[in-house]
Amino acid sequence: MYGDTRIGQIFSLEEVESYLYSQNFNQPDKTNLEFYEKVVFNTEIPELKTKDTLKQFLDENYTKVPVMNPDGIEDKEKIGFVPHAVFFLYVNGLIGKTFDENDVYQAYQKHKDKIKFIYDSVLKGIKKEEILEDKEKLKKWLFDHAYGNCKNGRIFFSEMQEKFSIIEDHIREIRYYIDLSCKKCKSHNLKQEEDVLDTWFSSALWPFGTLGWPENTPDLKNFYPTSLLVTGFDIIFFWVARMIMMGMHFMKEKPFSDVYIHALVRDEKGEKMSKTKGNVIDPLDMVEKYGADSLRFTLAALAAQGRDIRLSEKRIEGYKHFANKIWNASKYVLTNLENNQAKLFEDIKSVNLSYEDKWVLTRLQECIRDAHRAMEEYRYNDYANTIYDFFWHEYCDWYLEFSKERIYKGTDEDKSAALTTLVYVLDKSMRLLHPVMPFITEEIWQNLPFKDAPYLPVAQFPQVDERLIFEEEKNIVEGIKELISSIRNARADFGIPPSKKVDVYIKPSSPELEETIKAMEPSIKLLAKIDNLLVGTDIERPANTVVAVSKDAEAFIDIAGSIDVEKELERQEKLLKDVEKSISISEKKLSNENFVKKAPPHVVEKEKTLYQQLKEKAEKIKQVIQALKEVRAS
């Protein structure tokens, strides 16, 4: 405990109790004492089980230090050194309860180095030490403090026939001292040797000392200077500055080009993790519960430059869902490879690519480009989040859905193009993800049909291929995505169940877009849950429809046969009343000066955001109600 700085060299019974019997930060189901017994000593320590046996254990094994002043008393009011020394000799059995000046003098001479060391720390300076070095002065002092013939009339002893006895009531508390002394001379006056290479000095030699310096070795020629040093902000002066100085002095060249100062991992509230607070997250527990890949990806995704990481178990759990998404997407691809006999091409450029194929390949190249830039600039959070956004939101949410119609109902050529593109993008995605999620990516990659290496760590890292960038097709599909999203949002706004298919009329802004929509009609109908789809630039809004707008087209959704308009109107009007009630409550809070001035800033800001969101929601509901009334009138 002392080596781990849980207690000082002079400590109290209460300090030991509060640590030994508190919950251990590393073993949440054990106390600290159980942790020491099972992990550190591998044996039980029965003496430490209860307060009485703990005190007995400390009394028997440690030097006792009597405290005669209450804490907080000013130094000038403290009882002098002599009574402390006499009481020290008594509580440690070095003199009896009854004694004379010779007993005190002889015991003090044997143990004075230790006593002086202890009380120099406790009293911050020793007073009237000379009394203990002179028997006559000591005898007079003992008499004076037995009868009050001294400053403040203090009485510490009783006296009978020139024998003195301790009055124990003066001992306020017993503390304990961990005895550290020189094995040879037994002195307690220890001082660290200064003529040595300390930790930071020897660490300063690390960039070249590990490479064979001072010899001119091949490793030193090849690997000095290094490129990057990764470190924490707290040792920039102790370590980084020293390495630079030593490198410039001995090697005449800086030891590295870049220094990456990594974040400090804090808890979800932004507080530093502490054993005593009990807010430490054990990485081994997180790996067992959520997997190593999930924890690794979480730390990468949160490692923004200049900001500490606020880590919580919920975040790690969230990225476990990402790992599940990767696994399920790869399962979809590999299962369809097994179930289809369509030809698979290793060279993606030899395939007759569709609009959506060219779109996802273009987005992949943009992802690769952004990932390279993030890695070069040491923005590891941007690297992780770039791949996350592409794989989940582009590849899984859109392209896998686009591919289903062609794989399940398309021609052999359609199936071949879709499967080849699925495999190609999955392969590149696993290569990109491997540095931050090495285990799941290796497992999936080993089951892909085309490989350029036995294992992912030595496979070629993805590079941008300009021949796979199709800007025109990308923009077209982005427009289709926006159109599908607007139809989905309208369905949700008007309470149309996800399982219910609707009739839709689409009015594109140009004949070219009309042809594209018709070419992608099966995928659009699947993703927007459409039954009958009519497309034309000359379509006018039919009766019983609501409008969904994108930048390149208008969609008219027939809701009359899909919902009970009267019931939905009633539901929306009730919802509007609830939202307006919440707006009124929020307005009262924000108009209250006491709330705005006295509430924490983040609470006020949160209320302002909520108010704005409620206003926007109310406006949207009003638009839905107006549309429903128009349908009812028609």
**Which tens digits make up the pLDDT trace of 472-489?**
999 999 999 998 998 898
Tens of pLDDT, residues 200-241: 788 899 899 989 998 999 999 999 999 999 888 778 888 899
Q: What confidence score (pLDDT) does residue 188 get?
A: 67
d(CA 91, CA 57): 15
Q: What confidence score (pLDDT) does residue 416 get?
A: 93
Which of 54-58, 376-380, 410-414, 428-432 has the least mean pLDDT? 54-58
* HSE-up (13 A, CA, CB side) for residue 237: 1
Q: What confidence score (pLDDT) does residue 389 get?
A: 96
pLDDT averaged over the chain?
A: 85
Other CB atoms within 10 A of residue 430 CB: 24
C-beta of residue 358 within 8 angstroms of C-beta of residue 366: no
Higher pLDDT, 519 or 567: 519
Tens of pLDDT, residues 127-155: 788 888 888 888 888 888 888 888 777 78
Tens of pLDDT, residues 369-392: 999 999 999 999 999 999 999 999
Other CB atoms within 10 A of residue 249 CB: 9
With 70 as the cut, is the pLDDT of residue 563 above it?
A: no
Share of the chain above pLDDT 90, in %: 31
d(CA 601, CA 589): 14
Question: Scanning the structure block, which residue is given the tokens 């070069």?
Answer: 376
DSSP category for residue 397:
I
d(CA 523, CA 125): 87
With 80 as the cut, is the pLDDT of residue 190 above it?
A: no
Question: Scanning the structure block, which residue is given the tokens 């285990």?
Answer: 439
Look at residue 184 and give its three-state secondary structure.
coil
Which of 52-56, 85-89, 274-278, 489-493 has the least mean pLDDT? 274-278
CA–CA distances in Å: residue 118 to residues 12, 111, 122, 177, 475: 14, 11, 6, 8, 80
Which of 111-115, 288-292, 430-434, 532-536 has the least mean pLDDT? 111-115
With 80 as the cut, is the pLDDT of residue 101 above it?
A: yes
Q: What confidence score (pLDDT) does residue 29 get?
A: 54
Contacts 24+ apart (CB under 8 A), 410-418: 412/342, 412/343, 413/352, 414/354, 415/340, 415/342, 416/342, 416/343, 416/344, 416/345, 416/351, 417/351, 417/352, 417/353, 417/354, 417/357, 418/354, 418/357
Which of 181-195, 287-301, 362-376 has the least mean pLDDT? 181-195
Q: What confidence score (pLDDT) does residue 4 get?
A: 59
Where do the H-state alpha helices sit in 124-280?
A: 135-147, 199-204, 206-209, 218-223, 241-246
Beta bridge partners of 260: 230
Q: What confidence score (pLDDT) does residue 194 get?
A: 65
DSSP category for residue 537:
T
Q: What confidence score (pLDDT) does residue 434 get?
A: 97
Average pLDDT over residues 594-616: 85
Q: What confidence score (pLDDT) does residue 477 get?
A: 92
Other CB atoms within 10 A of residue 38 CB: 13
Average pLDDT over residues 536-545: 83
Q: What confidence score (pLDDT) does residue 358 get?
A: 96
Look at residue 555 and give its three-state secondary structure.
strand
With 90 as the cut, is the pLDDT of residue 312 above it?
A: no
Q: What confidence score (pLDDT) does residue 129 get?
A: 80
Strands, sheet with 163-166, edge to edge from the N-terminal-most edge strand: 98-99, 163-166, 157-160
Q: pTM of this prediction?
A: 0.61
d(CA 417, CA 343): 9
Q: What confidence score (pLDDT) does residue 355 get?
A: 93
Residue 464 banded pLDDT, cuts 50, 70, 90: very high
Q: Indicate the residue type of 113.
A: D
